[in-house]
Amino acid sequence: MRMNYWTCSRFADWLRGTDKPYSLDSKGWTEWTNTAKSKHPIRYWIADDGLRYLQDTIMWIPDQLYHAKYYIVNRWIDQSHALVASPKHIKPGQYRDMDYRILHCLFDELVNFVEIEKAYSNYRWSEEKQKGMRWWQVGRWRTRTWRSAEAGLQYLEWESKLTNVEWLPEEEKNNAELTSQAIAAAEIIALYKWWTEVYHQRPDPHDASGWTEYCERKRQEHGDEGLSFMKESKNPELRALGDAALKKTHEIEQAYDAEDEAMMIRLIKARDSLWT
């Protein structure tokens, strides 16, 4: 995919004798094409087919270099063929069971989507914003190495407020509703914040339940007697604390598992919106 096409340039408009619109729906493009062809059929061919063939010929070598770069970046830098966990959560070479990998890989990739792809959308169409950025951060030779949580969330916040007001007749504009894009953006924000602000801040079940306290008191009771730690405590109060803490630990773990599952289901349902 090229960053610019000669058939969409001002020179092409001059050759064609008809300016190409910036955007239209499918019906509009069909009507425009038929009109442009009927007005100047030869000029239309030169501006569209002719310029495309010429650009393909002249840009053949740069295109091949770009394709090679694209493969290298996708294969070893972006790893867009795989779901990869952040090294903060699963260190390279560290073994983790499948249930752990599924959760962390999915949500760490969501973080990449927000902080890299959505962040870049903040800059993609603005030459002013791109000033000061490096050659590998924008444009044709960009790699997914630059990230900004602030820029990604800012773009999503803008998306989350989009309405259908511009498609409504004047008398109905007060009844504008959020678009599907806006609803999806709000859901992505919620999922991102759950992973970055809630999940990793949840108390350890053993600490929250009192199990850690129980284990420490039992160690003090048995001292350095090795496996005697596994013996039942002679202290009724400590035994009661252990039973209650163990039950509470299971309850907290089950609640965490249910929350994790619910959030993964929400993420899967939002997958149709995870593209830029």
Give yes or no: residues 151 and 209 share one domain: no
Give yes or no: residues 63 and 91 share one domain: yes
Give yes or no: residues 65 and 192 share one domain: yes
| Helical residues (DSSP H) of the chain, grouped into ranges | 10-16, 26-39, 41-45, 51-58, 60-72, 98-112, 119-124, 127-130, 149-159, 180-193, 205-209, 211-222, 236-269
pLDDT at 23: 74
Which of these three, 196, 224, 247, is where a domain ends?
196
157: nearest Cα among 130, 133, 181, 129 = 181
Give yes or no: residues 173 and 234 share one domain: no
- For residue 234, give its domain range: 202-271
Q: How many domains does the chain have?
A: 2
Give yes or no: residues 243 and 123 share one domain: no
Residues 6+ apart with CB under 8 A from 217: 238, 241
pLDDT at 260: 98
Which of these three, 149, 170, 196, is where a domain ends?
196
pLDDT at 83: 92
Give yes or no: residues 182 and 88 share one domain: yes
Give yes or no: residues 181 and 95 share one domain: yes
Tell me the mean pLDDT in the region 221-227: 65
pLDDT at 1: 65
Q: Is 243 domain-assigned? A: yes
Rounded to whole angstroms, how far apart are CA atoms 144 and 113?
10
Give yes or no: residues 63 and 174 share one domain: yes
pLDDT at 205 over 70: yes
Q: Is 29 domain-assigned? A: no
pLDDT at 157: 97
Tell me the mean pLDDT in the region 109-138: 84
Give yes or no: residues 68 and 140 share one domain: yes
What confidence tens digit (pLDDT) does each residue in 69-80 have?
878 877 887 788
Give yes or no: residues 143 and 246 share one domain: no
